[in-house]
Amino acid sequence: MREGTAPFISFLLLGGCLMAGSAGSAEIPDYDQARWDPIHFKPAIDTASDKQCLECHQEIMEHRVRTQSPAGVKASEALAWYQTLDTYQGEQDTFHRRHLVSDYAKHVMDLKCKTCHQGNDPREETAASSATGSTDLTQRKHVDPMLCAMCHGQHNGTIMGVPPGDWRETGKLFNNSCLTCHAAIRTNRHQVNYLKADAIEAAANEDSDVCFGCHGGRAWYRITYPYPRHLWPGGGDQAPEWARGRPSESDPRFLVGMTKTAKAAAAPIEEK
């Protein structure tokens, strides 16, 4: 946390309020206890609700970007290349808010803290350098960047039979709509617990930047993401050469709670 002690102090204050409101024996954890709270690690993080995380990390939702940069550029007058998609709306906002609470994010996605956060090693910021380190963690990262690449990788036109080049140009050949082909191809898609599959299809019918946005339009990475390849009606059962070895189902962790999300969110808060 860049601001040094401020989040820690607000954490203590918040902790104090929560404890005052709760009925009993629980004590206010000190900094180290809170930092090493099992909720940060497996297996507890897999069942943690956003509500539980936000009891200590409310600042994630409350932080706002500066209205003006130190050099004097007004946020209201700045627009980055990835903010020129038709789906981008509203004032400049923080990374977390753009994924969790922007109107567009809430419309097409259902990301939770644990979708991205799978734990890290606070002792060394390196996954396996201590005796108790976990090799499951991503080296020196709080979040595995391959996760970002699912929605921020390059548009893989080559395998699609789309001519090489930027979709902003080549798309004209296809009426600027991915659905020209994808109304019938790879139609079994987005059935995961952090996306709203039906809302995505409906939004894409209104606005052709919807599909492109997550598949090339906001590409921070030079690589394409190797998506799982689900079979689809009329698609046959033979995978093409480039897809050999690809899974035919989404990562099991993204299928958890597909039918019982509400129940998971209502799970009791762990005793400290």
* Least gap, CB of 44 to ligand HEC (angstroms): 8
Side-chain half-sphere exposure of 131, counting CA atoms within 13 A: 0
95 belongs to the binding site for ligand HEC (CB under 6 A): yes
Phi, psi of 234 (to 5 degrees): 90, 0
The CB-of-4 to ligand HEC minimum distance in angstroms stands at 8
Helix (H, G, I), strand (E, B) or coil at 266: coil
Do 39 and 48 form a contact (C-beta atoms < 8 A)?
yes
Residue 178 CB burial class (10 angstroms; 0-12, 13-18, ≥19) = buried
Scanning residues 214 to 243, which ones bind ligand HEC (CB under 6 A)?
A: 214-215, 218, 226-230, 240, 243
Cis peptide leading into residue 122 (ω within 30°): no
Among 41, 53, 127, 193, the residue binding ligand HEC under the rule CB under 6 A is: 53
Tell the smallest beta-carbon distance from residue 66 to ligand HEC (Å).
Answer: 13
22 touches ligand HEC by CB under 6 A: no
- Site map (CB under 6 A) of ligand HEC, residues 61-80, x = contact: --------------------
| Binding of ligand HEC by 51 (CB under 6 A) | no
Helix ranges restricted to H, 49-196: 50-57, 59-62, 95-100, 103-108, 113-116, 145-152, 157-160, 167-170, 179-182
Chain-centre distance for alpha carbon 36: 23
Q: Which one of 19-27, 28-36, 69-77, 127-135 is the stretch in contact with ligand HEC (CB under 6 A)?
A: 28-36
107 binds ligand HEC (CB under 6 A): no
Instruction: Using CB under 6 A, pick the residue from 75, 174, 256, 257 that binds ligand HEC.
Output: 174
| Residue in 259, 202, 262, 267 with CA at minimum distance from that of residue 52 | 267
CB of 243 or CB of 264, closer to ligand HEC: 243
Among 9, 159, 223, 267, binds ligand HEC (CB under 6 A): 159
Q: Check binding of 36 to ligand HEC (CB under 6 A).
A: no
Asked if 193 interacts with ligand HEC (CB under 6 A), we say no
Q: Is 137 in the site for ligand HEC (CB under 6 A)?
A: no
Taking the complex as a whole, the smallest distance from the CB of residue 260 to ligand HEC amounts, in Å, to 18
19 lies in the binding site for ligand HEC (CB under 6 A)? no
DSSP of 31-77: HHHHHT-GGGSTTHHHH--HHHHHHHHTHHHH----SB-TT--BGGG
Is 258 an interacting residue with respect to ligand HEC (CB under 6 A)? no
Q: Which among 227, 85, 82 has a CA at the least distance from the CA of 159?
A: 227
Residue of 18, 19, 148, 256 interacting with ligand HEC (CB under 6 A) = 148
Q: How far is the CB of 161 from ligand HEC (least distance, A)?
A: 5
Among 12, 34, 128, 264, binds ligand HEC (CB under 6 A): 34
Buried b (16+ CB within 10 A) or exposed e, 72-111: eeeeeeeeeeeeebebbeeebbbebbebbebebbeebbeb
